[in-house]
C-alpha cells in the first residue's frame, strides 16, 4: 500500500503501485500542458541499504527507436510513466545523493516482447537514471558519478525491469574506470 500525489489533479492517491500508475495515466484533469512531474512524499534516507539492493518495476524497457524517434508528447508520456513507480519504489533510498554508485538494470522480457540490441536497450532505459536523479538517489548520471550495466534475459511468465544498486563509494574507484 502506497500513497502519492497526482501531478495532474493534485489529489492524494492511495493503493497499490499498479493502481497509482493507472490513475496517473488516465487522469484527465491536467493543470498545465507538457510533462507533469510526480511529487511523492519521501523521507530522506541517511543510511545506504544492504547491498546489493534490488527493486522490481512492473514496466518493461522499450526500444530507443520506439521512444526517442516518436512525437515529443509520446516520449514525455513514456518518461513520466517511469517517474510514478520509481518515485514510490525508491523511497527507502530517496535523498541519499550518492557521490558514486554502480547499478545494474536488467530488462526481463516475456512472451509478447523480444530482445533488443544493446544501443536500443541503453537508450530506452534513459528514464531510469533520470528518475534516480529526480528522487535524489544519485547526484548525476555522468560517468564520474554513475556506472551502470545493462542486461537482458527472457522469462516465460511476464515482463518487468530489475534495478539493482551494486556498490557505492565517495569517489569513483580505480577498478571502475574503463
Q: Is residue 14 part of a domain?
A: no
Partner residues linked to 169 by β-bridges = 100
- Confidence class of residue 103 from pLDDT cuts 50, 70 and 90? very high
Q: What cell numbers appear for 172 in the block?
A: 569513483
- Confidence class of residue 49 from pLDDT cuts 50, 70 and 90? confident
Over the stretch 10-42, which tens digit does the pLDDT of each residue have? 777 777 767 777 777 777 654 444 444 444 444
Q: What cell numbers appear for 101 in the block?
A: 554508485
Domain that holds residue 56: 36-176
Q: Is residue 122 part of a domain?
A: yes
Position 48 scores a pLDDT of 76
Q: Residue 58, SS3?
A: coil
- Given a cut of 90, is residue 165 above it in pLDDT? yes
CA atoms of 172 and 102, how far apart (whole Å): 9
Q: Is residue 5 part of a domain?
A: no
Q: Is residue 22 part of a domain?
A: no
Q: Look at the chain and report how many structural domains it folds into.
A: 1
Q: Is residue 11 part of a domain?
A: no
Position 140 scores a pLDDT of 92
Position 71 scores a pLDDT of 84
- Spatial CB neighbours of 150, under 8 Å, sequence gap ≥ 6: 104, 105, 106, 107, 118, 121, 122, 125
For the entire predicted model, the pTM comes to 0.73
Contact 89, 42 (CB under 8 A): no
Contact 135, 87 (CB under 8 A): yes
Contact 7, 36 (CB under 8 A): yes
Task: Check residues 20 and 95 and name the one with the higher pLDDT.
Answer: 95
**What's the average model confidence in pLDDT over 152-171?**
90
Which CATH number belongs to the domain containing residue 137 in this structure?
3.30.1330.70
Over the stretch 104-118, which tens digit does the pLDDT of each residue have? 999 999 888 889 999
Q: Is residue 141 part of a domain?
A: yes
Amino acid at each position: 500500500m502506497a500513497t502519492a500525489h497526482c501531478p495532474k489533479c493534485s489529489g492524494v492517491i492511495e493503493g497499490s503501485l499498479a493502481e497509482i500508475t493507472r490513475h496517473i495515466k488516465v487522469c484527465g484533469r491536467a493543470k498545465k500542458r507538457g510533462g507533469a512531474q510526480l511529487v511523492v512524499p519521501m523521507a530522506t534516507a541517511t543510511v545506504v541499504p544492504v547491498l546489493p539492493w534490488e527493486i522490481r518495476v512492473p514496466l518493461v524497457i522499450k526500444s530507443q527507436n520506439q521512444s526517442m524517434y516518436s512525437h515529443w508528447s509520446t516520449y514525455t508520456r513514456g518518461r513520466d510513466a517511469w517517474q510514478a513507480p520509481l518515485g514510490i519504489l525508491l523511497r527507502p533510498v530517496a535523498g541519499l545523493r550518492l557521490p558514486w554508485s554502480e547499478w545494474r538494470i536488467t530488462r526481463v522480457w516475456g512472451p509478447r516482447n523480444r530482445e533488443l540490441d544493446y544501443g536500443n536497450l541503453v537508450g530506452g532505459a534513459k528514464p531510469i537514471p533520470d528518475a534516480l536523479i529526480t528522487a535524489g538517489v544519485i547526484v548525476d548520471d555522468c560517468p564520474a558519478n554513475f556506472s551502470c550495466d545493462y542486461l537482458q534475459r527472457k522469462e516465460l511468465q511476464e515482463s518487468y525491469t530489475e534495478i539493482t544498486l551494486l556498490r557505492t563509494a565517495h569517489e569513483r574507484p580505480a577498478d571502475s574506470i574503463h
